[in-house]
Amino acid sequence: MKNICRNILLLLLAVVPSGIMAQALIAEEVSIQRQIEMVETTALRSMLLNEENAIPASHIYPEWTNTKVHFKHALPDSFRIDLRDFVMPTTNTKITDKFGYRPRRKRVHNGLDIKVERGDTIYAAFDGKIRITAYQRKGYGHYVVIRHNNGIETLYAHLSKKLVTVNENVKAGDPIGIGGNTGRSSGPHLHFETLLLGNCLDPALMFDFKNQDVTGDFYMYRKPGTKYIENGVVKIAGPKEKYHIVRSGETIGKIAAKYGVEQGMIFKLNKLTPRSIIRPGQRLRYE
Ligand SMILES: [Zn+2]
């Protein structure tokens, strides 16, 4: 292996005559053997580094593209995300909108909104590589997507300015943009998404902006419905089921509005139809 590497390097050096390494080779005062040793170590180190940084988390991602944020690749039953070595994307702590379905706008909010001031620096959450930098006039405005070595991707939207370019490697804490109000946004804020294989996860499962911390050293993603064993007990992963006890005078419409869910969801979860009659004391699942 070592010999193959050395041969590749010598070949590379023969093809690329310029650069520091080649210059070192030319310098007469250093012996040829010493030059080769020097070159090998530095070049090998940078070769390994480049390999590691070439495509972050390539073991789980099928490809590297500079388009399409949400490509929805099938999720594994479980995946452990290393949250150590994080940097909070903003020092601001105020959440102005949560992740999930918003009945008022009849659409899902794919991320968390954090209040920022125009001009605030936005930082990369973990080490990784810039996958997308783009502008969406009616959506994200100026935005950046980073694929991280830990397997998740983070998205930063409504920036007034992007400070990075595609395929650039970044370290956790590197400035990647300036906070702003571009795209579909009413007031300067950071729209922050966390994605696994193109699927949006609630950033609050990993990031606690209020306390400027992550939720733990690791976050274990589990596909809803999968069985797993914890402390010898079989558990089923999932969004927790939530219930409402019907009070007199309440309709499914009222209950749906109360919890910010769709009526249709309540029908489905409880095997009801719009014609079904609900009575006080009845337990209805709404989530
Ligand atoms: Zn948002």
DSSP string, 13-28: HHH---SHHHHHHH-T
**Rounded to an integer, what distance in angstroms lies between the CA atom of residue 226 and that of residue 230?**
13
Q: Give this prediction's pTM.
A: 0.70
Q: Does the structure show a pLDDT above 60 at 3?
A: no
Mean pLDDT of 193-209: 96
Can you give the pLDDT at residue 48? Answer: 62
CB 84 within 8 A of CB 217: yes
pLDDT (tens digit per residue) in 110-150: 999 999 999 999 999 999 999 999 999 999 999 999 999 99
Q: Does the structure show a pLDDT above 60 at 87?
A: yes
Q: Does the structure show a pLDDT above 80 at 61?
A: yes
What does 79-147 look like in DSSP terms, one character per residue?
EEEE--S---S-S---EEE-SEEETTTTEEE-SEEEE--TT-EEE-SSSEEEEEEEEETTTTEEEEEEE
Q: Does the structure show a pLDDT above 50 at 186?
A: yes
**What is the 113 CA–ligand 1 centroid distance (Å)?**
5
**What is the 106 CA–ligand 1 centroid distance (Å)?**
14
Mean pLDDT of 212-229: 92
Can you give the pLDDT at residue 153? Answer: 98
Q: How many CA atoms lie within 13 A of 132 on its CB side?
A: 22
Tell me the residue type at 244. Answer: H
* Beta strands 227-230 and 243-245, pairing class: unpaired
Can you give the pLDDT at residue 100? Answer: 83
**What is the 98 CA–ligand 1 centroid distance (Å)?**
8
Q: What are phi and psi of 122, to 5 degrees?
A: -110, 135
**What is the 185 CA–ligand 1 centroid distance (Å)?**
8
Q: Does the structure show a pLDDT above 60 at 21?
A: no
What class does CATH assign to 243-285? alpha beta
Which region, left, alpha or beta, applies to residue 225 given φ > 0 means left and ψ of -120 to 50 means alpha?
A: left
Query: What is the maximum span of the chain, computed from C-alpha positions, in angstroms?
Result: 94
- Better-predicted residue by pLDDT, 215 or 9: 215
- Better-predicted residue by pLDDT, 98 or 8: 98
Mean pLDDT of 67-84: 93
- Better-predicted residue by pLDDT, 220 or 24: 220
Q: Can you give the residue ranges of every domain in the chain?
A: 2-54, 78-230, 243-285
Q: How far is CA 262 from CA 83, 217, 248, 258, 267, in A?
A: 34, 35, 21, 10, 9
**What is the 108 CA–ligand 1 centroid distance (Å)?**
10
Across the chain, mean pLDDT equals 86
**What is the 18 CA–ligand 1 centroid distance (Å)?**
48
**What is the 97 CA–ligand 1 centroid distance (Å)?**
7
State the fold for domain 78-230.
Glucose Permease (Domain IIA) (2.70.70)
Q: Does the structure show a pLDDT above 60 at 83?
A: yes
Can you give the pLDDT at residue 225? Answer: 81
- Better-predicted residue by pLDDT, 114 or 44: 114
**What is the 40 CA–ligand 1 centroid distance (Å)?**
48
Least confident of 106-110, 193-197, 230-234, 271-275: 106-110
Structure confidence at residue 92 as a pLDDT band (50, 70, 90): very high
**Which residues have their alpha-adjacent CB atom under 5 A from ion ligand 1?**
113, 191
pLDDT (tens digit per residue) in 251-281: 999 998 888 888 888 898 888 988 889 999 9
Helix or strand run (H / E) with residue 217: none
